[in-house]
Amino acid sequence: MRNLNNTLLAFLATAALAIGHHGLAAFDQTTKINLKGTVTEFHFVNPHCVVEFEVKDAKGQVQKWQGEMTSPAHLKGWTATSLEPGNVVTVTGYRAKSGATYLWILKLSSSNGTELKSFTGD
């Protein structure tokens, strides 16, 4: 393990996958979307925290969404209970290019006061 250059270091997985292991290539970074929904599950895990939430579309149909964030170590002050089922969240982010109901969360605010003010880490 030698001569690692700094550029590469940014891509390396680290202890406990603590630093993000992938970039945002899977997401459409040209357009931000805004969603409001109700949390059904929150995963405070490496390499990315994920919030699952339900959004009602214009027709009243419920869509299941998943929002990815940075790693637990980079979500300062957050815990596994920072988001709980029933919390209403408003999120802004980049949607998955595949068209799946996934997004990379840039901003989040929750009815319980939890906030992610800006994108941190990857």
Partner 1 sequence: MIGKIHTDPLIVVPRPELKSHWQKCCSTSPQDAVGKRWSRQNSKLRRESEEALLLAFARDMGQTNGSMQAAITRFQLIWAIILALPSFALSQMNEGIPVTDQLVLAKCGTCHAADEHGNMPRISWARSTPEGWEDALKRMIRASRVTLTPPEARAIVNYLSGTHGLAPEETKPLMYYAERRIHDEAGMASDGVLDTCTKCHSLARALSWRRSEGEWKQVVAEHESRYRLKPNEEAVAFLQKAAPLHSPEWAAWNAKTKKAELTGRWLVTAHVVGRGKFYGEMNVQPGSNDGEFFTRVVLKSVNDGATVFRTGHVVVYAGYAWRGRSQGSGSASASPEDLASEARETMWISPDGSQAEGRWFWGQYQEFGFDVKMQRASSGPALLVVDPPALKTGSQANRIRLIGDHFPAEATPTDLVAGPGVSVRRIISSTPREIVAEVDVAADATPGRRDVALRTATLQSAVALYDRVDYVKVTPDSSMAAFGDQAYPRGFQQYEAIGYQRGADGKLHTADDVDLGPVDVNWSIEVFYEVDSSKRELVGKVSPAGFFTPASENPNVNYDVWVVATAKNNKNKDGNPLVGKGYLVVTIPTYTFNGRKYIRELDRWIEDGSDTR
Q: In the complex, which residues of this chain contact partner 1 (CB under 8 A)?
A: 1-9, 11-19, 21-22, 26, 41, 43-48, 50, 66, 68, 72-73, 80-81, 84, 96-100, 102
d(CA 29, CA 95): 8
Question: Which C-beta is closer to partner 1: that of 9 or that of 62?
Answer: 9
Question: Which C-beta is closer to partner 1: that of 34 or that of 81?
Answer: 81
Q: What are phi and psi of 15, to 5 degrees?
A: -50, 130
What is the secondary structure of 52-78 as a DSSP string?
Answer: EEEEE-TTS-EEEEEEE---GGGSTT-
Query: Beta strands of 17-113 (E only): which ranges?
Result: 27-43, 50-56, 62-68, 88-96, 102-110
Residue 103 beta carbon to partner 1: minimum distance, rounded to whole angstroms: 10
Residue 98 beta carbon to partner 1: minimum distance, rounded to whole angstroms: 5
Question: Which C-beta is closer to partner 1: that of 6 or that of 58?
Answer: 6
Residue 76 beta carbon to partner 1: minimum distance, rounded to whole angstroms: 9
